[in-house]
Amino acid sequence: MKKILIYGDSNTWGDNFILGKRIPDEKQWANILQRDLKDSFKIIQEGLPGRLAGNDEIEKNYKNGKDTFISTFRTQAPVDIIIISLGTNDLQIKYNKDYNKIISDLIWYKDIVLDMYNDLDDRKKYFLNNTMPKFIYILPINFDYKENAKVIFNKESETKRKLILKEFKKYIDDNTSVISIDNLPLFDDGIHLNFDGHKILALRVKETLIMQNQKNELLEFKKRINLQVFGLENIPKTNPSIYIANHNCLMDIFYLAAAIPKPTVSLISPRLIYAPKFPRKQIVNDLLYSMPLEAHGGIKYANICLEQATSILCKNIDISIFPEGAYLEPSNFIYKGRTGAARILFDAKSNGISPNLVPVAIEVKNNNLNLDNYFVCDDIVKIFILPKIDYFSSFSKYLNSFSFEDKNKAFHQIVDKGMKNIAIALNKEYVDEYIELYPKNNVMFSDGTTIDYDIAQNSHYTSIYTNQLELRKNNIVSKLIYN
């Protein structure tokens, strides 16, 4: 069981000015979170009305967050995760604090824990397995500065809050997650979360914990494999990217995700995501943000999957895809890629987004390579991130083409270029032929059931499938776009 210390203000405590008392325990977001997480986590709720991130309160100095944090941490240690939910009270008119000072005060909590961690005696006593706890910052939430809370907050308070949400992103790292959220429902006092607000915040914290766990799992996975990554300087710094890669074996889906520093949504077979094959399904969902790409349901299902992928890309989230669509016994060939990546790319471009197309060459060396293995093995893996593809002329041809055949040529032009660059990087021969896909003649849905191909063409099933993908996409986007 992991321990979470939540160090916060009145919204962590469960305050309500209108009632003049604390809301019921079962309505508080920390306790809702505890119920949802069940026995996998123990929540330690340390909320105090009026608590500041800094030490700016003179008359009621018990509200100064820094003064009591160290003793609180040492009392509850060791903990796995620390959630800091402060900063709102620092925005009050009476304190007149600069937003940069509030950010500095918030960062202090992580820095002071790091100072204790660097003391070897403290590390042994207060840190679990000599490990620094993960941090989650819940940044100042919305308040009603126009009406109900205008005596306490003003427009300048809101401007500072927005700047904190914007500037704090630079502090996100492998050990730190951030929750920045607007429009949470409040009681009529204009400051404190109402019952629905507590539910929403509990859900967002739960999603962040899941995401943090996925990130940790991927980092641990990366430590356990012999992975060398080259060409990190080729990762574009602006606009979302589509990574296209060759396919050696099943483990490629994990190798590629581990190589890209930024979280990436993997477009893979639904039979890896949904099929009730334990533990493969669990491993895929623990390590990856994945969306299904159904290759066996005909054009209807392919388009549903590609449209959802385009929507993700348009949210400035990177995606990855394996255009070869399958893998074979080890060979010295790179095969022609299918056009899904180009269709996503051009659809996004048509919607005003200018994504990058980045080829990635994956080299796997293992004398006893097991193509369908999904556990860490003895593979020696080298990943080469190649320069992005210039697709301007192909996109122009696509826009100016009216026949399906001509548009398809424009799609193939850029995918072929990417796959040829991968072949050159790996010193392999490029084969202008598809790897043959053995038809499944069915479509797999999110509960693991399969529907026969002909029956699945019915609008009833395509509607169900669309709704399932929309739900999965929204869940992934909510995790990645806010953290």
Last residue of a domain, one of 190, 222, 254: 222
Residues 427 and 377 placed together within one structural domain of the fold:
yes
Average pLDDT over residues 55-65: 94
Average pLDDT over residues 203-210: 89
Q: Is the predicted pLDDT of residue 483 greater than 80, yes or no?
A: no
Average pLDDT over residues 72-82: 97
Average pLDDT over residues 76-85: 97
Average pLDDT over residues 216-240: 88
Greatest alpha-carbon pair distance for the chain in Å reads: 77
Residues 218 and 229 placed together within one structural domain of the fold:
no
Last residue of a domain, one of 222, 251, 284: 222
- Phi first, then psi: what are they for 84, rounded to 5°? -105, 115
Look up the CATH number of the domain holding residue 153: 3.40.50.1110
Instruction: Please give the pLDDT value at position 267.
Output: 97
272-325 pLDDT per residue, tens = 999 887 678 888 888 899 999 999 999 999 999 999 999 999 999 999 999 998
Residues 267 and 374 placed together within one structural domain of the fold:
yes
Residues 132 and 238 placed together within one structural domain of the fold:
no
d(CA 98, CA 173): 24
Instruction: Please give the pLDDT value at position 331.
Output: 78
Residues 200 and 301 placed together within one structural domain of the fold:
no
Residues 287 and 430 placed together within one structural domain of the fold:
yes
Instruction: Please give the pLDDT value at position 383.
Output: 96
Look up the CATH number of the domain holding residue 268: 3.40.1130
Burial of 200 (0-12, 13-18, 19+ CB in 10 A): middle
Residues 367 and 431 placed together within one structural domain of the fold:
yes
Average pLDDT over residues 96-101: 96
Q: Which domain holds residue 10?
A: 2-222
Residues 166 and 270 placed together within one structural domain of the fold:
no
d(CA 203, CA 200): 5
Instruction: Please give the pLDDT value at position 207.
Output: 85
> pLDDT: is 210 or 76 the higher one?
76
Long-range residue pairs from 66-74, CB within 8 A, at least 24 positions apart, any chain:
66/105, 66/108, 66/112, 69/7, 69/109, 69/112, 70/112, 70/116, 72/5, 72/7, 72/46, 73/5, 73/7, 73/113, 73/116, 73/126, 74/126
What is the tally of structural domains in the chain? 2
Instruction: Please give the pLDDT value at position 367.
Output: 62
- Residue 330: pLDDT band (50, 70, 90) is confident
Q: Element (H or E) spanning 412, and its range?
A: helix 404-425
> pLDDT: is 340 or 175 the higher one?
340
Residues 229 and 160 placed together within one structural domain of the fold:
no
Residues 149 and 287 placed together within one structural domain of the fold:
no
Instruction: Please give the pLDDT value at position 221.
Output: 82
d(CA 52, CA 60): 11
Four-residue CA torsion sign, 229, 230, 236, 237 = positive
**Least confident among 94-98, 181-185, 213-217, 258-262:** 213-217
Neighbouring-strand partners of residue 136: 83, 177
**Least confident among 94-103, 225-234, 472-481:** 472-481
Predicted TM-score (pTM) of this structure: 0.71
- Residue 347: pLDDT band (50, 70, 90) is very high
> First and final CA of the chain: distance in angstroms?
24
Last residue of a domain, one of 222, 243, 267: 222
Instruction: Please give the pLDDT value at position 16.
Output: 86
Residues 353 and 208 placed together within one structural domain of the fold:
no
Residues 201 and 252 placed together within one structural domain of the fold:
no
